[in-house]
A and B are shown apart, each in its own frame.
Chain A
Amino acid sequence: MVSEYTKFGIKLKRIDINDYHLILDWRNSEDVRPYMQYQKIITLEEHLSWFYKIDNELNYYFIGYFNDEPFGVYNIKDVDFKENCGEGGLFLKDKSFWEGDVAIRGNFALADFCFNVLNLDYTYCHILKDNKKAINFNKQQGLVLDESFISETSIRMTLLSSDFYKKNKKLITYLSK
């Protein structure tokens, strides 16, 4: 299993059982919890139970580091190597990280990991319908609405590998300098 991936100035480090304090603090904060599908406070016991379910080669949960500072959790989960796809997601330490370049660097690093290391054809994500900021952010990166997915509360967006590299070519070139 890949334990670390560095790209675009971001180090993605696979989460460890000992990272619970960081993850729980961020995940239960008011900057994150209201925007998640599951909005209840997560206990340490629930977290540990979840961790043991996802600690395998079909789920990749990373803590993102920028200049050695941890700033968020990025994931590709439920990887399907027959369909070559997986579900992406992220949450950040606090809202201020949405304003600078760090969040998108992390997203690009995760996408590159998915398409270049796991060799997936596409990724997808589910977003609450009223989270306009996240929907807009995803569109800017090349994700498109999946019309076949129907839910009262959320939408599904997909990102093809080819669309990712085409849509973001200029920025990827800049970050690769």
Chain B
Amino acid sequence: MQINDFIKNLEQQLSETEPGLIHPDIEFRNIEEWSSLVALMVIAMVDEEYNVALTGDDIRNSTTIQDLFDKVVSK
């Protein structure tokens, strides 16, 4: 599993954020369109693409995109 692929999949959930702006060190809460709905879309994407059950707590306990990726890898 590569973080670049993870970011591409993440970008597909962000309809108003220009592709290429997301990088591992970004704090996802600072993404303007980030919301609870986007969080759920990310959880669904991770389930579908990686067969991993990311939880709301995983997201709440993460800060950056890298943190999210690490959570997925560790599960």
Interface residues of A (CB under 8 A from B): 66, 96-105, 107, 133, 136-137, 140-141, 170-171, 174-175
Contacts and interface: CB of A to CB of B under 8 A. Distances in A.
B39 A104 contact: yes
B59 A104 contact: no
Contacts of B55: 100-101
Nearest to B59: A100
A140 B56 contact: no
Contacts, number: 56
Interface residues of B, number: 19
B70 interface: no
Given A99-B60, A100-B59, A137 B35 contact: yes
B47 A102 contact: no
A44 B33 CA distance: 37
Contacts of A137: 35-37
A133 B29 CA distance: 11
A107 B40 CA distance: 12
B43 interface: yes
Contact of A104 (B33, B35, B57, B60): B35
Contacts of B32: 136
A98 B44 contact: no
Given A100-B36, A102-B36, A140-B35, A171 B59 contact: no
B38 interface: yes
Interface string B50-74: 0000011101100000000000000
7 contacts: A99-B29, A101-B36, A102-B36, A105-B40, A136-B32, A137-B36, A141-B37
Interface of B: 29, 32-41, 43-44, 47, 55-57, 59-60
A124 B18 CA distance: 31
Contacts of A66: 56
B56 A102 contact: yes
B56 A101 contact: yes
A157 B55 CA distance: 30
Given A171-B44, A174-B47, A96 B36 contact: no
